[in-house]
Amino acid sequence: MIPFLKLIRVKNLVVILLTMIGVAYHLRKHHPYEVIDFNSIQYGLLIFSTLIIAAAGHLINDYFDLKADRVNKPEDLVLSKYLQKRWAILGHWLLNFLAFSIAIYLSWSLHTLLFVFIHLVSINLLWFYSVSWKRKLLLGSVVLAILPALVIFLSTWYFQILNESDQAYSPYLEQTWSTYLNYHYAQFLAICAFLVTLSREILKDVHDMPGDELLNANTIPRKIGAKKATWLALITLQFPSVLFVTLSIFSAFAIPSKLAAFTLGTLAILFFGQLVWYALQPEKASKWLLFVYKIAIPLGLLTLFF
């Protein structure tokens, strides 16, 4: 059982779970005087289907990555060591079938094709990433960076579908009434999650260069060199701060709580500190760069609860 949980990256699934719960909590907490339509069973099914698509993606990724993983991380191997390869393929198809069935039900019950479309896109993105896109220049990193952002947007779209009517307003017809919630902070975190994940994937490619050489993967570090790729990753990591400053100057965007502002500010300082440290001591800094990502995304997403 434990090897299987390791194979589906249960820690990543917990982050997805907390993220989707966090979006719902954030929207309800910061709109205390709004009448918000919400169905806990439907939202629970949306969370469950998202989790099993992610689990299926991890299964198929490890299946196609087995050759490189024997070089990059032999101590972490699960497939061929604890489980036979065919179970990864079978699990991938079964989980995706279940998730897509849930999406069909949600789309039917909520009168929208959005959930079918998003689930279908996610399933195919993870499949093509595992099969070939991870070996394409930048494409693989971008695909993986899109997915955590998509989780947040998917959660906000659920609330929009339930609360915003596309019919002409009538005071006599309740189905035409709309509740317009403020999704700006959640959407800001989605963009930040994309940027931070993209930066992390570039750095992981630097770390995985030996295995990528074996697969002849056309990654950024192999194209421009490890040092330039690290600089690119660290510069990308500064974009969330630039985005926040830009939004604060040109719009009414604000972080919803002091604790959230403190947390994000601390992360921004940490990101900039990494850049400075790498400039001064690249060899020492390189050993710790990936560690920051382990706390950055979970901490950032936990601000939805603040």
Write the DSSP string, the chain: -HHHHHHTTHHHHHHHHHHHHHHHHHHHHT-TTS-----HHHHHHHHHHHHHHHHHHHHHHHHHTHHHHHHH-GGG--BTTTB-HHHHHHHHHHHHHHHHHHHHHHHHHHT-SHHHHHHHHHHHHHHHHHHTGGGSTTHHHHHHHHHHHHHHHHHHHHHHHHH---SPP-TT-GGG-------HHHHHHHHHHHHHHHHHHHHHHHHTHHHHHHHT---HHHHH-HHHHHHHHHHHTTHHHHHHHHHHHHS----S-HHHHHHHHHHHHHHHHHHHHHHH-HHHHHTTHHHHHHHHHHHHHHGGG-
Write down the pLDDT at residue 77: 56
Write down the pLDDT at residue 82: 56
Write down the pLDDT at residue 75: 55
- In this predicted model, what pLDDT tens digit does every residue of 40-62 receive, in sequence order? 999 999 999 999 999 999 888 87
Q: Which domain holds residue 131?
A: 2-305
Q: What is the mean pLDDT of residues 221-225?
A: 90
Q: What is the mean pLDDT of residues 7-25?
A: 93
Q: How many domains does the chain have?
A: 1
User: In this predicted structure, which of 15-24, 105-114, 123-132, 134-143 has the lowest mean pLDDT?
Assistant: 134-143
- In this predicted model, what pLDDT tens digit does every residue of 117-138 receive, in sequence order? 999 999 999 999 988 887 787 8
- Average per-residue pLDDT for the chain: 88
pLDDT band, residue 242 (cuts 50/70/90): very high
